[in-house]
Amino acid sequence: MLLQISEPGMSAAPHQHRLAVGIDLGTTNSLVATVRSGSPVCLPDENGRALLPSVVHYAGDKTVTVGHAAQARQNQDPANTVVSVKRFMGRGLHDVADAATPYRFVDEPGMLKLQTVAGIKSPVEVSADILTTLKARAEASLGGELVGAVITVPAYFDDAQRQATKDAAMLAGINVLRLLNEPTAAAIAYGLDNAAEGTYVIYDLGGGTFDVSILELTRGVFEVRATSGDSQLGGDDFDHRLHCWILEQAGLSQLNDRDTRLLLTKARQAKETLTDHERTQITARLSDETLVDVELTAGVFQQITAHLVQKTIAPLRRALRDARLGVDDIKGVVLVGGATRMPHVRHAVAELFGREPLTNLDPDKVVALGAAMQADVLAGNKGDDDWLLLDVIPLSLGLETMGGLVEKVIPRNSTIPTARAQEFTTFKDGQTAMAVHVLQGERELVSDCRSLARFELRGIPPMVAGAARIRVTFQVDADGLLSVSAREQSTGIEASIMVKPSYGLSDDEIGRMLRESMQHAEGDMHARKLGEARVEAESILAATRAALQLDGDLLSHDERADVEAALTSTDAAIAGHDADAVRLAAEALNEATSEFAARRMDRAVSRGLSGQKINEL
Amino acid sequence: MTFDFSLPHFALFGLPTTFALDRNVLDAAYRKLQAEYHPDRFAAADDAQKRLSLQIATQVNQGYQALKSPLARARYLLQLNGVDTQEETNTAMPVDFLMQQMEWREAIGDAKAARHGDALEALAVEIAAATQTQIAELGQLLDQQQDWLAAAAAVRKLRFLEKLAEEVDDAIDVVMF
């Protein structure tokens, strides 16, 4: 089939430069950037500061303060000053129950809310307040209305979190051109700035999440080869570890909200000081006049947080494996996120790759700059420097099959857009419907993966088991949205569904699942073997019982007893958990019925000769 | 813009229909096609154009997947010649091949139990070398001898080796990380 469409850009009217921005909506800080005369720049506030602290203060008179001014009130009024709101986006109360925060949470279905003196605030509203500030800054600076924005999210953000981010943008009156993964945005900014060619690792340790992506850069094409991460790991965890250490050193136990907030701030400051100092003094006066005064050396800080740095290595290795690359294939490692300023993080990365990481772009700004570049392209401002991004899905997509097992249809790290079809068949004679259960995750059992959607294909014509041919097709578009359709091939009957959450996993769940998939690879293998053996044995059982009913008269009393015994022991094996025992019992059953099968064949042939229809047997 | 959806994958990337393949040519052709048809190129276009570009970019990605790895490429070549590789149904293997598989599997199990990372790395190298030999043999069968049934058997062997390689990698992850 040949198709003809018009040249790209033909239908669009000749346009002037459209104002589009990239927004890095970070856990700790947020930024807005745009492309000016071909180069991306961060847009500063009226005091020349590019970073906007992601902090929002709500006052009793409904005044909303965002950024540095809000940060200044954090210690006095912790309950009404929202920090790190990104951690609550798209999360329920149960997701954040263990987090030590000064907030009064309101449990709401879907997403928690925060009780403030200015009323109940959803994390979406708090994020929208940050976005509104950035939008106002951009429009003042660019002198016009924005056509849209690319907003960055951690690669491992799930659909609820992505949807919450989109909702916040909508509340702020921003048209979202695309949600872009943070490490990918960084790679674009780094690659275009340095005219880089080759394979690069982006190591992104932000305030609340760790992402790693491997990209291949070739003549303006950015191809994501693999992405991985740990969505429960970030700079905040270093602050919390240090906070606990201060409590130990000062012999303190439970603190009130204000003191907790104060010591967390002191911990963060100490961490930052150690970036270019060997030691620092942590001094704070608590609300009961207790004086905390401890010295912290870089050595001690490294020691007490070494396990956090070590936690970044496994995702790195997994990404390299998925990309089928070794450490020697990597041309450079780009560090992103404020937490990568810590010297021992840099040392760990340098040691693993045998080279110093690249830090010639500001790790705080690089994500916003990359987002601005992608926004420029998606707004239709095609420049001379043509480049393209080829992204991947972070987790495998599959279907439930017999025995509670997952059959992967599209493996993780597949380049999008993509589609794949797989054929399935009916398991029972006369089966007229088939349930299609769409799953996401790396594990082998349905119960260990995330359920994305279910639907049913009905109206399959009754046929013997295994005769129907049902083709299930997965399609993932360039935005990562999945649609699934099922079609019975002989009749053409069809059913389909648009699965909105293509990333429908909470990031905790992804982290846990990935960790467990490594630990449980062996258990899964056993479960899979057992499941397969049971399915196989059950089909032999069913066939034997049906044959006994039809042609049982072909067996003598003793012969029949032998077959019955084999049936019973196969039933018993299926009830157990030993895959080998199931297989052996099924084999024994096969053996015990081989003579019976031969006699049935003879009878069928002789009946055929005497004019009966074979298919009646 | 025209696009022929009926083109076989090899022709789509301007490659001869052979197992032997110049990866650089494939990669360059792939990037060129995506640069032309990727949906991001049509961000400002109408819905019909967007839909078509999605379909084309999907087809290009599928073709790239089918040709990129030797195992997938051999499968695709056999499919073009109407031969089913029977990877799920045909488990008959030469005895010496099965013996070797069992030896490797035992060695992996032992090294894992003893937490010998170096031994596992050595096994990984050994299995990678066997995989390369198997790929070379597959190339002979497909390109020189055009012996499709023997090639299908070689594909099944290669699949065994890939699974084994994954097992070693998993074991290395467990032991060393």
pLDDT tier for residue A5 given thresholds of 50, 70 and 90: very low
* Interface contact B54-A478, CB threshold 8 A: yes
pLDDT tier for residue A425 given thresholds of 50, 70 and 90: confident
For B61-80, the pLDDT digits (tens) are 999 999 999 999 999 999 99
A61 tagged catalytic: no
In chain A, which residues have their Cβ closer than 8 Å to the Cβ of B58? Answer: 417-419, 475
Over 90: is that where the pLDDT of A555 sits? no
Phi-psi region of A285 (alpha: psi -120 to 50; beta: other; left: phi over 0): beta
Over 90: is that where the pLDDT of B128 sits? yes
State the pLDDT at residue A385: 61
Of A1, A11, A418, the CB nearest to B6: A1
In chain B, which residues have their Cβ closer than 8 Å to the Cβ of A419? Answer: 58, 62
Residue matched to tokens 């157990």? A576
In chain A, which residues have their Cβ closer than 8 Å to the Cβ of B169? Answer: 321
Q: Does B31 touch chain A (CB under 8 A)?
A: yes
A239 tagged catalytic: no
A182 tagged catalytic: yes
State the pLDDT at residue A220: 85
In chain B, which residues have their Cβ closer than 8 Å to the Cβ of A12? Answer: 44-45
The 3-class SS string of A245-305 reads HHHHHHCCCCCCHHHHHHHHHHHHHHHHHCCCCCEEEEEEECCCCCEEEEEEEHHHHHHHH
Q: Does B89 touch chain A (CB under 8 A)?
A: no
CA distance A409 to A376: 34
For A141-161, the pLDDT digits (tens) are 999 899 999 999 988 776 667
For A460-490, the pLDDT digits (tens) are 888 888 888 889 999 888 877 788 888 888 8
A507 tagged catalytic: no
Which residues 56-85 of B are in CB contact (within 8 Å) with A?
57-58, 61-62, 64-65
Of B44, B57, B177, the CB nearest to A380: B44
pLDDT (mean) for A488-511: 59
Of A219, A380, A477, the CB nearest to B43: A380
The segment with the largest mean pLDDT, out of A60-69, A257-266, A380-389, is A60-69
pLDDT tier for residue B9 given thresholds of 50, 70 and 90: very high
Tokens of A195: 């005219």
A490 or B134, greater pLDDT: B134
Query: The whole model's pTM is what?
Result: 0.74
Please give the mean pLDDT across all residues of chain A. 84
Q: Does B54 touch chain A (CB under 8 A)?
A: yes
Q: Does B48 touch chain A (CB under 8 A)?
A: yes
Which residues 367-406 of A are in CB contact (within 8 Å) with B?
377-380, 386, 388-390
State the pLDDT at residue A11: 37
Of B5, B35, B177, the CB nearest to A388: B35
Over 80: is that where the pLDDT of B44 sits? no
| CATH domain B95-176 topology | Monooxygenase (1.20.1280)
State the pLDDT at residue A525: 66
Of B44, B52, B173, the CB nearest to A12: B44
The CATH 1.20.1280.20 domain(s) of chain B lie at 95-176
* Interface contact A3-B174, CB threshold 8 A: no
Distances (CA, A) of A148 to A63, A139, A237, A374: 27, 11, 34, 11
Of B35, B49, B174, the CB nearest to A5: B49
**Helices A343-353 & A298-310 angle (0-180, nearest 10):** 50
Measured in Å, how far apart are chain B's first and last C-alpha atoms?
Answer: 50
For A347-385, the pLDDT digits (tens) are 999 999 999 998 878 888 999 999 999 999 888 886 656
The CATH 1.10.287.110 domain(s) of chain B lie at 9-68
State the pLDDT at residue A522: 56
Nearest CA-CA distance, residue A2 and chain B, Å: 5
* Interface contact B45-A223, CB threshold 8 A: no
pLDDT (mean) for B19-27: 96
In chain B, which residues have their Cβ closer than 8 Å to the Cβ of A390? Answer: 34, 38
Distances (CA, A) of A144 to A19, A135, A373: 7, 11, 19
pLDDT tier for residue B17 given thresholds of 50, 70 and 90: very high
For A538-554, the pLDDT digits (tens) are 878 888 888 888 888 88
* Interface contact A386-B35, CB threshold 8 A: yes
Percentage of residues of chain A with pLDDT beyond 90 = 38
For A183-203, the pLDDT digits (tens) are 999 999 988 778 789 999 999
Tokens of A509: 């769940």
Over 60: is that where the pLDDT of A263 sits? yes
Of A5, A318, A418, the CB nearest to B61: A418
Given this structure, which CATH class describes domain B9-68? Answer: mainly alpha
State the pLDDT at residue A521: 55
Searching chain A, which residue's CA lies closest to the CA of residue B56?
A: A417
CA distance A277 to A280: 7
**Selected residue of B53, B76, B177 to mutate for chain A interface (largest A Cβ count, 10 A):** B177
Catalytic choice (A182, A259, A364, A442):
A182
Searching chain A, which residue's CA lies closest to the CA of residue B48?
A: A5
CA distance A413 to A393: 5
Catalytic choice (A95, A129, A204, A400):
A204
For B90-118, the pLDDT digits (tens) are 878 888 998 999 999 999 999 999 999 89
* Interface contact A388-B44, CB threshold 8 A: no
Q: Does A617 touch chain B (CB under 8 A)?
A: no
In chain B, which residues have their Cβ closer than 8 Å to the Cβ of A393? Answer: none
The 3-class SS string of A452-518 reads EEEEEEECCCCCCCCCCCEEEEEEECCCCCEEEEEEECCCCCEEEEEECCCCCCCHHHHHHHHHHHH
* Interface contact B61-A416, CB threshold 8 A: yes
For A201-217, the pLDDT digits (tens) are 999 998 888 999 999 99
Lowest mean pLDDT: which of A46-55, A99-108, A603-612? A603-612
Q: Does A223 touch chain B (CB under 8 A)?
A: yes
A94 or A576, greater pLDDT: A576
pLDDT (mean) for A209-238: 89
Over 90: is that where the pLDDT of A42 sits? yes
**Number of CB pairs < 8 Å for A and B?**
97
Q: Does A2 touch chain B (CB under 8 A)?
A: yes
